[in-house]
């Protein structure tokens, strides 16, 4: 269980780093922030790549499972940062994504 919790937390941190790395340039492109945000955005994306490298599974499996965690993290971002509360369909989609992540990341595998 400790490994599963570590993996989920690592996926969450990875997703936040990726979202920040993409959100800051988005703000700049929309004229809501200065070009200075591009530097922390680049740093966030570097942290994102580093965090992905910490996962013990094969890269393709890690990316597939991470994608599901990213969906849920983005919905939390929608609520916390954008101020838009996810609706029941967002919640259902997030739950399905998490179920997919659990299957990909945590089922016992031979060999």
- Give the pLDDT mean for 39-50: 97
- Give the pLDDT mean for 80-90: 97
Determine the pLDDT at residue 62: 87
Q: Are 22 and 41 in contact (CB under 8 A)?
A: yes
Q: Are 26 and 71 in contact (CB under 8 A)?
A: no
Determine the pLDDT at residue 1: 57
Cα separation, 58 vs 30, whole angstroms: 37
DSSP-based helix, strand, coil % in the chain, nearest 5: 80, 0, 20
pLDDT in tens, 89-100: 999 999 999 999
**Interacting residues of 13 by C-beta distance below 8 A, sequence separation 6+:** 51
- Give the pLDDT mean for 62-73: 91
Entry pTM: 0.87
């Amino acid at each position: 269980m400790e490994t599963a919790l570590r993996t989920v937390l690592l996926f969450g941190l990875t997703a936040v780093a990726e979202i920040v790395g993409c959100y800051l340039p988005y703000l700049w492109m929309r004229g809501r922030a200065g070009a200075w945000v591009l530097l922390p955005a680049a740093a966030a994306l570097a942290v994102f790549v580093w965090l992905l490298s910490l996962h013990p599974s094969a890269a393709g499996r890690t990316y597939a499972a991470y994608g599901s965690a990213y969906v849920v993290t983005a919905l939390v971002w929608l609520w916390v940062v954008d101020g838009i509360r996810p609706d029941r369909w967002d919640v259902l989609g997030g739950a399905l994504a998490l179920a997919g992540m659990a299957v990909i990341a945590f089922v016992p595998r031979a060999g």
